[in-house]
Amino acid sequence: MTLIQERPSGPGLYSEEAEPLTQIVPGPRPRGVVKFITSTDHKQIGLNYMVTAFTGFLVSGIMAELMRTQLAGPDNHVLTANAYNQLVTMHGTVMLFVFGGPFAFGLANYILPLQIGAPDMAFPRFNNLSYWLYLGGFLVMMSGFLTNNGAADFGWFSYAPLSEAIHTPGPGVDMWILGIALTGFSGIFTAVNVITTVFTLRAPGMVMFRMPIFVWNSMVTLFLVLLAFPVLTAALALLWCDRHLGTSFYNPVGGGQPMLWLNLFWFFGHPEVYILALPYFGVVTEVFATFSKKPVFGYKGMIAATLSIAGLSMGVWAHHLYTTGAVLLPFFAALSLLIAVPTGIKFFNWIGTMWQGVLTLNTAMLFAIGFLIIFLCGGITGVMLAQPPLDFQLHNTYFLVAHFHYVLLGTTVFGAFASIYYWFPKYTGRLLDERLGKLSFAIMFVATNLTYFPMHDLGLRGMPRRVFTYPANAGWTFLNQLATIGAYLLGIGVLFTVINVFLSFRRGEIAGDNPWDGQTLEWATSSPPPEHNFEILPPIRSERPLWDANHPDQLTEVGH
Determine the longest span between alpha carbons in the chain, in angstroms.
79
Q: Name residues contacting ligand HEM, limited to 100-119 (CB under 6 A).
A: 100
Residue 16 exposure: Cα atoms within 13 Å on the Cβ side: 0
Q: Looking only at residues 470 through 509 of this chain, which bind ligand HEM when binding is defined by CB under 6 A?
A: 487, 490
How many angstroms separate the CA atoms of 312 and 207, rounded? 26
Which of 158/525 has CB closer to ligand HEM? 158
30 lies in the site for other proteins, by CB under 8 A? yes
Residue type, 397: T
**How many other C-beta atoms are found inside a 10 Å radius of the C-beta of residue 531?**
15
| Residue 395 near Cu ion by CB under 5 A | no
> Pick from Cu ion, other proteins, ligand HEM, none: which does 270 bind, CB < 5 to 8 A by kind?
Cu ion
**Rounded CA separation 140/98 (Å):** 12
| Cα–Cα distance, 114 to 60 (Å, whole number) | 31
Residues between 92 and 151 that touch other proteins (CB under 8 A): 119-120, 122, 124-126, 128-129, 131-133, 135-136, 139-140
Kindly state the smallest distance separating residue 451's Cβ from ligand HEM, in Å: 6
Q: Which does 409 bind (CB under 5 to 8 A by kind): ligand HEM, Cu ion, other proteins, none?
A: ligand HEM
Choose, by CB under 8 A, the member of 58, 166, 328, 467 that binds other proteins. Answer: 328
Residue choice 15, 20, 23, 58 for contact with other proteins (CB under 8 A): 23
Report which DSSP code applies to 149. Answer: T
CB of 340 to ligand HEM, least distance (A): 21
Angle between helix 434-460 and helix 363-385 axes, rounded to 10 deg: 10
Residues in contact with ligand HEM, shown as a per-residue x/- string from 386 to 425 under the rule CB under 6 A:
---------------x---x--xx--xx------------
Q: Sketch the per residue contact string, 400 through 419, with other proteins: x for CB under 8 A, - otherwise.
A: --------------------
282, 216 in Cβ contact below 8 A?
Answer: yes
Q: Based on the shown chain and the rule CB under 8 A, indicate whether residue 267 belongs to the binding site for other proteins.
A: yes
Helix (H, G, I), strand (E, B) or coil at 430: strand
Closest CA to 22 of 534, 550, 405: 534
Closer of 91 and 319 to ligand HEM (Cβ): 91
Binding residue for ligand HEM, selected from 45, 53, 95, 222, defined by CB under 6 A: 95
Q: Is 403 in the site for Cu ion (CB under 5 A)?
A: no
Residues 6+ apart with CB under 8 A from 84: 67, 70, 468
Q: Which is nearer to ligand HEM, 115 or 397 (CB)?
A: 397
> Could you say which DSSP state residue 524 is in?
G
Three-class SS of residue 27?
coil
Task: Check binding of 20 to other proteins (CB under 8 A).
Answer: no
Counting Cα atoms < 13 Å in the Cβ hemisphere of 140 gives 19
* 156 is an interface residue for ligand HEM by CB under 6 A: yes
Minimum CB separation of residue 155 from other proteins in Å reads 20
For residues 97 and 57, the answer to whether their CB atoms sit within 8 Å is no
Nearest distance in Å: CB 134, ligand HEM: 16
Q: Which of 92, 117, 298, 382 binds ligand HEM (CB under 6 A)?
A: 92
Q: How many CA atoms lie within 13 A of 71 on its CB side?
A: 32
Closest CA to 426 of 280, 286, 288: 286
Residue type, 57: F
Give min distance, CB of 447 to ligand HEM, in A.
9
Strand partners, 430: 510
In the complex, minimum distance from the CB of residue 127 to other proteins, in angstroms, rounded to a whole number? 8
Which stretch in 24-32, 80-88, 149-157, 477-485 sits in contact with other proteins by CB under 8 A? 24-32
CB 407 within 8 A of CB 379: yes
Query: Binds 226, which of ligand HEM, other proteins, Cu ion, none (CB < 5 to 8 A, cut-off by type)?
Result: other proteins
The residue ranges that bind Cu ion (CB under 5 A) are 270
